[in-house]
Structure 1
Amino acid sequence: MSALESRDTVVVSDAVEKDGAGVLSRDYRALSVGIVSVVLLIAFEATAVGTAMPVAARELDGLALYAFAFSGYFTTSLFGMVFAGQWSDRSGPLGALTTGIAAFAAGLVVAGTAGAMWVFILGRAVQGLGGGLVIVALYVVVGRAYPERLRPAIMAAFAAGWVVPSIVGPLASGAVTEHLGWRWVFLGIPVLVVLPLALALPQIHRKAAGPVDGADGAASFDRRRIRLALAISLGAGLLQYAAQDLRWLSLVPGLAGAALLVPAVLGLLPRGTYRAARGLPSVVLLRGVSAGSFIAAESFVPLMLVTQRGLSPTLAGFSLAAGGLTWALGSWVQSRPRVEPYRERLMTGGMVLVAAAIVTAPSVLLHSVPVWTVAVAWGFGCFGMGLVISSTSVLLLKLSAPSQAGANSAALQISDALSNVVLLAATGAAFAALGGGGAAATTSTTASGGSHPAAFAAVFLPMAAVALAGAWVTRRLRTSD
């Protein structure tokens, strides 16, 4: 996650620029296949979780904590991201990447063997720590090992790594959930990480190992940033807990969480992020606005279709499958050299598509609206996300000096994960307050007295407004008009 380039990498990059090699050329093939395979496995896990989660929450009697199972992941990933940024800048991304993958696999095992919802959430939290380490380390690899002209292509390849999981993952996860049990959705993934590691690690060691030029690899970590990272994770966790426990007493952990969170965020994100200052701060802000609104909405789509329209977990998950293709298509479009002058305009259009998709989804609460409406809308929304997410990564690496690339990359991912936590907390609280915790009791909207549809509408409509605000932020990405 950084634009850092070691001296050896610069030499390789210059040679690549001269001969026009691509991401699958001889020099880059093993590295590209290896790191994209890591993304592929993470994508399989993410799509599988969305499909299996309603069943897991029911079996563990934890539907009221449904949002916590998602936000627990993002909460711990915040610390992992900051730690990985410093670790990678000082010692290279190899250690952070391998440790992150190990923690991710361990979290899957804990979640898959959980006997109670809080143990399940603990497993998701361990996954989040690993995921935070991995995602930042991967961006550092891209920044160090690939020249600038190849970075849009490898980002598009990351997005393409979601295509097969998005199509096959929901079907496979649904089938496994129905016939073998939801636990095998989690327990079947850890053994698959060996091949990507075998491919990628030697190449990462050769192309991206060691500290950036001018940095002391033996230097100690920035203790202030580590403290801020702990504060942001603890604060996010307290805020999420308060949002799930709808009692006046929950104001205490909520206020404590906010008191920890606000100064930590101000210290870890670029100055001017929350007023959408032009350039890098707006890039970081847009990443959070786009990812948070979309993920908060998407997390409730399978639950809405299962509980309100009576779909099986397989069919509910499949409603999101087309999104993998259109997301990859959007990412491919942004990677074309000819669209580079229009990148900001494409991102504006992308956020409008995201907002339109989110506001359309709850229309299926009306039984006269066919359920495939969600699949079509989500396809367009994912196309918009493909344009926006990959472009924020490209712009961040372009705007980052080598000495700041690790910290800026961590800031981008912090914005992403923190927005997910905060918006999931808000939507989870609204969902529970309007009776959403009892949604599993019925598959009929009329049987619930109309409260359950209102609970889902309270999730989707505010998130559509947040996404629309992101369209305005895209007008602030350039440092000048």
Structure 2
Amino acid sequence: MSDTVDGRWAEIFSPRYLAVTTILALGVSLFAFNAFLSATALPSAVQELGGLEVISWATTLYLVFAIVGGAAAALVKRRLGSRWALIGLAAVFLVGTLIAASAASMQQVLVGRAIQGFGEGVVAALCFALIPELFPSRLVPKVFGMQAVVWAVAAFGGPAGAGALTELISWRAAFLINVPLVLIFATMVILVVPQGQKALDKSGFPGLRLAVIGTGTMLVALAAIVPPTPAALLLVAALIVLAIAVWLDRRSDERLMPPDAFSLKTAVGSGLWLFLLMPIAGAASAVYLVLLLQQLWGYGPTLSAAIGAVMAIGWSSSSVTVANVRKRATRRVLIRTGPILLALGMLGVLIALETTQLPLLIVGQLAIGMGFGISNGYIMLTIMEASTDAERDRTSALLPTTQSAGNALGAALAGVAANAAGYAQASGQGEILAAIVPLFLMAVGFAVLAWLAALRMVQLAKQTPIAEFASE
């Protein structure tokens, strides 16, 4: 195969691919919007329904069940076929939406959010699995660039849209806006997505493995809300439980994951480690920067959030820019450079906070976003290309699940590091500034680990035959 990858932006919006591109954008936007929904709409729900003590679980349960759903996505696709898997789980998401929107108590909202999470976790993972099935290799970087833009729009528009609906109509309207989007999505899936092959082997439902994955994810979520010592123990337990899930899956007749998932001996396994470690490293800024700007610099919520969103600008703009890169050698350079930019950005943000330098802070945020933007798409493409035809569904579907797990684990680790350094008890600027040093240095450490994983993946990818995807 040639060492170049050709493809134009206009092609993914051409008549041949427009409907498929729209389906993928809708699938990703549903997940992205709902990830940002709770912080904006649910405080109003609490005012009406009560249950302030469980408000954080509306987000936690959504993410936990989304990770479990993502883990099951490849199996669902094999059992139902592409079309009916997407329609069926979009219907599950719709049921969860209606339960939450009609809730008479916060407990009912939690049930709805959990069902939403499972349905959308499967849908988002299936959208990734469809990329190599419906697009040729040369267009895949453009598709990933489009998805990065969708996430950036959701980061800005999600809270704003949910806030406007909540203020002008009701918090229930912020949930119900999903209804027409799901109906449009399902209609387009019926018209465009092929049925796909159903698996002939009907082995048992992997309930034990999904339960183990859910338990491990829940332990991570719990670690984010308890004191440092029990949090550290919960994280250790979570890692053990998740390792057991991978071990069980490798020995199953019908696996949820590729057989080399998280193995450092293959490009796929090393790439999954890279895809997990980068969100862990990015969590320090994502979780704490907006709050720190209010505490240290006296900024209001709007200005703080705008500065926090600079990272999304760097991510989406750089992702779109590098989607035009043609040479595979350059693509490998971008993969190796992404974690370095992430580490430098974290150091820049830390120094900026310590020295009250707004320009440096913005540069650091841009560097963090660019670290993700220039590398994420090509990490995913390299993983897909290195996967065998038989395992590509499992591998592709595992990508958003791995990234969500990295975000959850990163948030928990950031909380443990900050609280262990005394951040929660800090009473003045000096104490706060001292407490955040270990937090950001830990982030830099994980970025370095991600860089080592990138080196390993690139090395192994050179030795792996490159797979083509959909026919031209």
Does structure 1 residue 219 correspond to structure 2 residue 201? yes
Structure-2 separation of matches of 1:407 and 1:292:
22
**Residue in structure 1 matched with residue 406 of structure 2 by the alignment:** 419
Distance 1:146 1:318 in 2: 35
CA RMSD of aligned residues (A): 4.0
Structure 2 counterpart of 1:399: 386
Q: How far off its partner does 1:137 sit?
A: 0.8
Report the TM-score, using the length of structure 2 for normalisation.
0.78
CA deviation digits over 1:218-254, x for unaligned, max 9? 532554x542222021122134324533387778866
Q: Does 1:263 align with 2:251?
A: no
CA–CA distance in structure 2, aligned partners of residues 53 and 434 of structure 1 = 31
Q: Which residue of 2 aligns with 1:229?
A: 210
User: Is the contact between residue 62 and residue 114 of structure 2 (CA under 8 Å) also seen in structure 1?
Assistant: yes
Structure 1 Cα separation of the partners of residues 345 and 233 of structure 2: 36
Which of residues 430, 433, 440 in structure 2 aligns to 1:460? 440
Q: Conserved in 1, the CA contact under 8 Å of 2:262 and 2:268? A: no
Aligned to 1:376: 363
Counterparts in 2 of 1:101-250, with a 5 A limit? 101-104=90-93, 125-169=114-158, 183=171, 186-187=174-175, 189-194=177-182, 196-197=184-185, 200-205=188-193, 208-211=194-197, 216-221=198-203, 223=205, 225-242=206-223, 244-246=225-227
What are the superposed Cα offsets for residues 307-335 of structure 1, whole Å, 9 maximum, x if unpaired? 44333332222113333333223322442
Distance 1:310 1:107 in 2: 39
Task: After superposition, give the CA deviation of every residue in 1:111-141 in whole Å (9 maximum; x if it has no partner).
Answer: 7888999887766544432332122110122
Q: 3-state SS of the aligned residue for 1:209?
A: coil
Aligned to 1:277: 265
| Contact kept? 1:33, 1:199, Cα under 8 Å | no
Match of 2:12 among 23, 26, 36: 23
Alpha-carbon contact 1:31-1:204 (below 8 Å) kept: yes
Q: Deviations over 1:164-210 (max 9, x none)?
A: 33444455567778x669947953642451464156313443xx322
Q: Name the residue aligned to 1:348.
A: 336
Contact 2:68 2:213 in 1 (8 A): yes
1:75 to 52, 64, 69: 64
Residue pair 2:283, 2:414 contacting (<8 A) in 1 also: no
Greater Cα shift, 421-430 or 106-115: 106-115
Aligned partners of 1:174 and 1:313 also within 8 Å: no
Determine if contact 1:240/1:421 at 8 Å carries over to the other structure. yes
Give the corresponding residue for 2:3: none
How many Å apart are 1:298 and its aligned residue?
A: 0.8
* CA deviation map 1:343-364 (0-9, x unaligned): 1111111111112222333445
> Which residue in 2 is equivalent to 1:473?
453
* Preserved CA contact (<8 Å) 1:60 1:115: no
| Post-superposition CA distance 1:422-458 (Å, at most 9, x none) | 33222223334445556xxxxxx7x447444445444
State the AA in 2 paired with 1:164.
V
- CA deviations on 1:2-56 (whole Å, 9 max, x unpaired) are xxxxxxxxxxxxxxx99x9922222221221232133234334445556789999
> Which amino acid in 1 is paired with 2:455?
R
Look up the equivalent residue of 2:387 and give its one-letter code: S
Q: Give how far 1:267 is off.
A: 4.3
SS in 2 for 1:319: helix
Distance change (3 Å), C-alpha of 1:407 and 1:106: same
Q: TM-score, normalised by structure 1?
A: 0.77
CA deviation vs aligned residue, 1:395-421 (integer Å, no higher than 9, x gap) = 122122222112212333343233333
Shift of 1:277: 2.4
Of 323-332 and 111-120, the range deviating more from structure 2: 111-120
Correspondence list, 1:352-371, <5 A: 352-366=340-354, 368-370=356-358
- AA aligned to 2:292 is M
Instruction: Tell whether the 8 Å contact from 1:87 to 1:221 is kept in structure 2 after alignment.
Output: no
Partner of 2:468: none
CA contact (8 A) 2:283 2:443 kept: no
Q: 1:112 to 1:432 in 2, by over 3 A?
A: farther
- Residue identity opposite 2:82 in structure 1: P
Q: Which letter does structure 1 place at the counterpart of 2:129?
A: V
* Code of the aligned partner of 2:217: A
Q: Which SS does the other structure have where 2:308 is aligned?
A: coil
Task: Find the aligned partners of 1:29 and 1:202 in 2 and give their Cα distance.
Answer: 15
CA distance in 1: counterparts of 2:15 and 2:73, whole angstroms: 29
Instruction: Give, in angstroms, the shift of residue 287 of structure 1.
Output: 0.8
Q: Does 1:95 align with 2:66?
A: no
Say whether 1:35 aligns with 2:24.
Answer: yes
Mapped to 1, the partners of 2:285 and 2:223 lie a distance apart of: 20
Is 2:87–2:186's contact at 8 Å kept on the other side of the alignment? no
Q: Look up the SS of the partner of 2:11 in the other structure.
A: coil
User: Which amino acid in the other structure matches residue 243 of structure 2?
Assistant: V
CA gap 1:41/1:131 in 2 versus in 1, 3 angstroms: closer
Residue 315 (structure 1) aligned with residue 303 (structure 2) = yes
For 2:242 and 2:200, the matched residues in 1 are separated by 30
2:15 is aligned with what amino acid? R
Find the residue that maps to 1:358 and give its secondary structure. helix
Q: CA deviation at 1:301?
A: 2.3
The secondary structure found in structure 1 opposite 2:12 is coil
Does the 8 A contact of 1:167 with 1:322 survive in 2?
A: no
Residue identity (%): 23
CA contact (8 A) 2:336 2:455 kept: yes
State the shift of 1:385 in Å: 0.6
Structure 1, unmatched stretches of 5+, are 1-16, 439-444
Q: Per the alignment, in what secondary structure is the counterpart of residue 22 of structure 1?
A: helix
Matched letter for residue 135 of structure 1: A
Q: Matched residue pairs, number?
A: 446
d(CA) in 1 for partners of 2:101, 2:418: 26
